[in-house]
Amino acid sequence: MKVLVFIKRTPDTAAVVKPTPDGKDIVREGLAFIINPYDEFAVQEAVNIKSAKGGETVVMTVGDDASTEQLRRALAMGIDRAILVKHDRFWELNPSQVGYAIAEIAKKENPDLIIMGKVTIDDYTYALAPYVAQALGYNLVTYATNVEYGDSTMKVERESDLGKEVWEVPYPAVISAERGLNEPKIPSVMGVMKAKKKPLDVVEMDLPSYAYEIVRFTPPPPRKGVKLLESVDDLIRVLKEEVKIL
């Protein structure tokens, strides 16, 4: 089976993100970056599929030169080769532009399966997997928590507020990874050394233009301190007079 994984370079979940003075971007200098955590489930899933069923695994991203760090990490986790679709301000791209790039690569690579995270933690659009499936005419299952891979179909579990669903889906397909799909492994030192020798192709691509602009980033308001109250009467008074919800 051939699996294509899409990942994105995102700020570390523990990083403190601040807007730039003009409010149109975040300060990227000195910020720690990681593979989007949901994409890391996708990488691990591809590695698991290859170790169980053989085949080939390819990881791609749309990103700047620094995004090779994340591609190398995916290679260190066990992916066979990597493709960087070069874009110096990739964080400004819309899901349809990134989705176009993925679809273009997929047309050349012909994967049986495309896996990516259900969402990226920096833009929260949830739109990428549906876009890619639509563009390619592939089947789609979102928020996968467990998959059994058969020869021509796969059984995908997804969890919703209504309970668990199991879908049987023929290849080719796109799945978006939810937490719980697997436990991503920390790469080994050997993995890092092997990754150095694996192919990493850089692709230039004209992406469709899209008429949208980020107007302003605003940080969340700072959390107010805890106020200790003396009695229930005090609580009722605060809820009435200060919070004004009673």
Q: Where does this chain bind other proteins (CB under 8 A)?
A: 69, 72-73, 76, 186-193, 195-196
- Which residue's CB is nearer to other proteins, number 166 or number 193? 193
- Which residue's CB is nearer to other proteins, number 30 or number 163? 30
Shortest spacing between CB 52 and other proteins, in angstroms: 18
Shortest spacing between CB 195 and other proteins, in angstroms: 8
Shortest spacing between CB 48 and other proteins, in angstroms: 16
CB-CB contact of 154 with 42 (8 Å):
no
Shortest spacing between CB 245 and other proteins, in angstroms: 29
Distance in angstroms (rounded) separating the CA atoms of residues 40 and 47:
11
Shortest spacing between CB 183 and other proteins, in angstroms: 11
In 78-215, where does DSSP find H-type helix?
Answer: 95-109, 128-136, 189-197
Distance in angstroms (rounded) separating the CA atoms of residues 181 and 5:
14
State how beta strands 163-170 and 173-177 pair: unpaired
- Which residue's CB is nearer to other proteins, number 8 or number 72? 72
Burial 119-153 (b: 16+ CB within 10 A, else e): bbbebeeebbbbbbbebbebbbbbbbbebebeeee
Give the amino acid at 228: L
